[in-house]
Amino acid sequence: MIKRIGLLTSGGDSPGMNACIRAVVRTALYHQIEVVGFLRGYDGLIDNQFCILNHKEVSGIINKGGTILKTARSERFRTTEGLKQAVTTIQQHALDGMIVIGGDGSFRGAIELAKHSDIAVLGCAGTIDNDLVGTDFTIGYDTAINTAVDAIDKIRDTAESHDRVFIIEMMGRDAGLIALRSAIAGGAEALLIPELNNDLGDLIEKIKGWRHNKGSRIIVVSEGDEVGGAYKLAETIKPYCAGLDVKVSILGHIQRGGAPTCMERVNASIVGYHAVLELMSGKRGCMVGIINRQVALTPFENAVKHIERIDPVLEKLIKVLSH
Ligand code: ATP
């Protein structure tokens, strides 16, 4: 019998986390389960900073970016002492289950939590990066790519008006999936992401071949690409740009913010709802995701394995369409 569960958001914030919190709380209350929300990720668990979440606390939040529970990257939780303190908090609250909303790092933390206590832990993938195995879309990704496409569209206006080359740097330390989809949707002329073995030489050849009267020249680069960031890339390609101005735009944290898209809110609600139902049915140690529109459970150990290969259809698409 699940009577009381804990809930926290951890790692980088992502739009849709609030929709997921709301779904967890409302589903739990519907089944007479109490929800204890811990503040600032694993730090809140260590310091026993919490609030009891009822209908009132989660009303009016589905349309809001960020997370009402706040989030943090907790270095203390990686220590034996921090982990011990977190387990003590769980025991003090007599929690029967725990739901962690976060990315791969947060799930590595969830694995440790489960290893050192007897609590059932489930996860909802909350990260803009979409880099987890076991779900088609993580919470935050759809909003982030829409924000990025909007930015590309706006930058293209000025790029065309001034005949400029623009390098747009997207978030993604280890994964280039935000850059990939937004480059396709924004009609970028070139893409550099860690998953593709982009030869800088290929890019330079491409630049040399750009038609003189070409309308716009947008290069999308992921922050984690081996070229070492947009500014370094700008210096490298400048000599080949036939005197055209090369400008850099780093989108940065605007990719994390804003109202979640409709798709985001619906997906976040589905996984939050199912996380509670799966806890009630005795599941533990898994991430709740959506694959081909079906709810899917993936053990944390598999979910955190980084996606090394991108969809070959998308890889081909960007190559052909940006030609
Ligand atoms: P994002 O994708 O937005 O970066 P994330 O969940 O991957 O989100 P991280 O900063 O990697 O973000 O991890 C969040 C927190 O999870 C860390 O600050 C730490 O508290 C905990 N964590 C990460 N890895 C481990 C680990 N190996 N052991 C224990 N805790 C961990």
**Do 119 and 147 share a domain, yes or no?**
no
**Do 298 and 248 share a domain, yes or no?**
no
Residue 197 counted as domain residue: yes
Question: Comparing C-alpha atoms, which of 68, 59, 64 is closest to residue 29?
Answer: 59
Residue 319 counted as domain residue: no
Range of the domain at 112: 4-140+260-303
Mean pLDDT confidence for 23-51: 98
Residue positions annotated with a catalytic role: 129
> What percent of the chain lies above the pLDDT cut of 70?
98
User: Of 256, 278, 293, which residue sits at a domain end?
Assistant: 256
Q: Atom 9, ligand 1: which residue's CA is nearest?
A: 105
**Do 93 and 43 share a domain, yes or no?**
yes
**Do 9 and 136 share a domain, yes or no?**
yes
What digits encode the pLDDT tens for the residues 112-163? 999 999 999 999 999 999 999 999 999 999 999 999 999 999 999 999 999 8
Position 208 scores a pLDDT of 86
Ligand 1, pocket residues at CB < 6 Å: 10-12, 42, 73-74, 77-78, 102-106, 108-109, 112, 127, 129
Question: Comparing C-alpha atoms, which of 132, 220, 229, 218 is closest to residue 173?
Answer: 229
Q: Which residue has the higher pLDDT, 196 or 28?
A: 28
All residues at 6 or more sequence positions from 265 whose CB lies less than 8 Å from its CB, including other chains: 16, 19, 62, 63
What digits encode the pLDDT tens for the residues 234-253? 999 999 998 889 999 999 99
What digits encode the pLDDT tens for the residues 176-221? 999 999 999 999 999 999 988 867 888 898 888 876 666 679 999 9
Using the atom order of ligand 1, give the atom closest to the CA of residue 102.
6
Mean pLDDT confidence for 57-85: 98
Torsion from C-alpha of 136, 310, 142, 73, nearest 10 degrees: 90
Residue 26 counted as domain residue: yes
**pTM of the complete model:** 0.96
**Do 103 and 160 share a domain, yes or no?**
no
Position 214 scores a pLDDT of 65
Residue 322 counted as domain residue: no
Q: Atom 2, ligand 1: which residue's CA is nearest?
A: 103
**Do 122 and 237 share a domain, yes or no?**
no
**Do 103 and 172 share a domain, yes or no?**
no
Using the atom order of ligand 1, give the atom closest to the CA of residue 76.
20
**Do 269 and 247 share a domain, yes or no?**
no
CATH of the domain at 154: 3.40.50.460
**Do 266 and 239 share a domain, yes or no?**
no
DSSP helix/strand/coil, 38: strand
User: Of 256, 274, 293, which residue sits at a domain end?
Assistant: 256
Position 199 scores a pLDDT of 74
Mean pLDDT confidence for 286-299: 97
CATH of the domain at 276: 3.40.50.450
Residue 308 counted as domain residue: no
DSSP helix/strand/coil, 101: strand
**Do 29 and 133 share a domain, yes or no?**
yes
Position 201 scores a pLDDT of 85
Length of the chain: 323
**Do 132 and 204 share a domain, yes or no?**
no
Residue 234 counted as domain residue: yes
**Domains of the chain: total:** 2
Torsion from C-alpha of 175, 181, 187, 191, nearest 10 degrees: 20
**Do 117 and 164 share a domain, yes or no?**
no
Helix (H) or strand (E) holding 299: strand 294-299
DSSP helix/strand/coil, 272: helix
Residue 33 counted as domain residue: yes
Residue 268 counted as domain residue: yes
Provide the residue type at 147 as one letter.
Answer: T
